[in-house]
Amino acid sequence: MTLLNSFQADDIRDRLAGKSVLVTGGTGSFGKQFVRTVLGLDCVKRLIVLSRDEQKHFDMMREFDDRKYPAIRYFLGDVRDLERLQMAFRNVDIVVHAAAQKHVPLAEYNPTECLRTNVWGAENVVRAALDNGVETVMALSTDKAVNPVNLYGASKLAAEKVFIAANNLSGQGQTRFGAVRYGNVVGSRGSVVPFFRNLIRQNADALPITDDRMTRFWITLQQGVNFVLSSMCMMKGGEIFIPKIPSMKMTDLAHAMAPDMPIKIVGIRPGEKLHEVMVNEEEARTTRELADRYVIHPMLSYWAGGDQPEGEPVPEDFRYASNTNTWWLPEPELLGMISRLDMDL
Ligand SMILES: NC(=O)c1ccc[n+]([C@@H]2O[C@H](COP(=O)([O-])OP(=O)(O)OC[C@H]3O[C@@H](n4cnc5c(N)ncnc54)[C@H](OP(=O)(O)O)[C@@H]3O)[C@@H](O)[C@H]2O)c1
């Protein structure tokens, strides 16, 4: 298993000790697991959860009560609203930007809504972070930002560019921006495992799969959170971090979850890819390989010193994709991982 599973708690505790941390989209799947993890480390000064819907905040307050966790703050706000972000980011040291509109078909139908949240929201996070002297901003991105074929992916690619280029705005100032990029999170809201689980519970006739060749990377919510935290510990500014994780075939997943249920091929959906790509050949030129991750360094980095980045350069035609990955999850292992999943529905 990768280093992603061996949570480097001491390093992370050192990085977060006494800091004020804010997570946008803190009431979402990632956000809640992030909050659970950071509160478990018991080292931050403040942990601010920012998102719009008050009901989600209210539900979360029941689980993470501020009497038990005095560091936590519930801050209603919209990343489209710069003024509100300016207020939220006051005296904040670290921002993790997880808020997003993430559903591909909804973004296709409502393109400007997706752009407002994912792109202008990113720009607002950058501005508020610079104005408030935030030290570190780590944004969450997705494989769909690589060679995008839908607006969600294109908006996340634009957001990545906004964050990486923000290091130029900061110049020699103190604010540093980076991003992590990973694929479908198994068990997150709207993902395939809860979807299949519901169909199995309802005794459906078959499990639908769009294409029997389809492959995906496998990352759990906790691994995603650990990855964001460990990437934050090594970030210098301008990097995109990509975890080394296993691949699975969608048909193997369906078979592992319901061995006796037939699979129905329903055809690839608009904006869906057959395989996930996390580093493409163009990005390979500035990509370095570490033991448990790839790091894409910026093509233009006027702010950076002349330090040689860590790790080995990848081959020129390198591509990190779910179908050509060398690490696969066989069915029995998939089943074990599904049963251990901390589902966040
Ligand atoms: N889930 C995956 O498979 C996956 C894979 C790769 C990357 N990612 C990325 O990881 C991040 C987190 O994803 P997730 O699965 O945790 O999503 P999620 O469960 O849908 O949570 C999204 C969060 O963002 C908040 N939000 C949405 N629009 C907002 C706005 N305009 N202003 C403030 N908050 C807003 C939502 O709360 P309100 O609606 O109440 O505001 C919610 O708290 C996203 O950036 C996503 O692109 C996800």
Q: Which residue matches tokens 């990486």?
A: 164
pLDDT in the model for residue 3: 44
pLDDT in the model for residue 7: 58
CATH code of the domain made up of 2-185+217-245+276-322: 3.40.50.720
Concatenating the DSSP letter of every residue in 153-197 gives HHHHHHHHHHHHHHHHHHTTSS-EEEEEEE-PEETSTT-HHHHHH
Q: Would you say the CB of residue 56 lies under 6 angstroms from ligand 1?
A: yes
Is 144 catalytic? The answer is: yes
Q: Would you say the CB of residue 52 lies under 6 angstroms from ligand 1?
A: yes
Q: Would you say the CB of residue 223 lies under 6 angstroms from ligand 1?
A: no
The Cα–Cα gap between 201 and 345 comes to 15
Nearest to 231 by CA among 137, 102, 91: 137
pTM: 0.94
* Residue-range domain boundaries for the chain: 2-185+217-245+276-322
What backbone torsions phi and psi does residue 194 show, to the nearest 5 degrees? -60, -35
Cα(99) to ligand 1 centroid in Å equals: 4
The Cα–Cα gap between 254 and 262 comes to 9
Cα(141) to ligand 1 centroid in Å equals: 10
- For the CA atoms of 231, 235, 239, 241, the dihedral, rounded to the nearest 10 degrees, stands at -10
The Cα–Cα gap between 15 and 36 comes to 17
pLDDT of the chain, 345 residues: tens digit per residue: 344 455 578 889 999 999 999 999 999 999 999 999 999 999 999 999 999 999 999 999 999 998 999 999 999 999 999 999 999 999 999 999 999 999 999 999 999 999 999 999 999 999 999 999 999 999 999 999 999 999 999 999 999 999 999 999 998 889 999 999 998 888 777 788 889 999 999 999 999 999 999 999 989 899 999 999 999 999 999 999 999 999 999 999 999 999 999 999 999 988 889 999 999 999 999 999 999 999 999 988 777 766 778 899 999 999 999 999 999 988 888 887 787 775 444
Q: Inter-axis angle of helices 221-234 and 29-41, to 10 degrees?
A: 60
pLDDT in the model for residue 306: 64
Q: Would you say the CB of residue 102 lies under 6 angstroms from ligand 1?
A: yes
Cα(272) to ligand 1 centroid in Å equals: 19
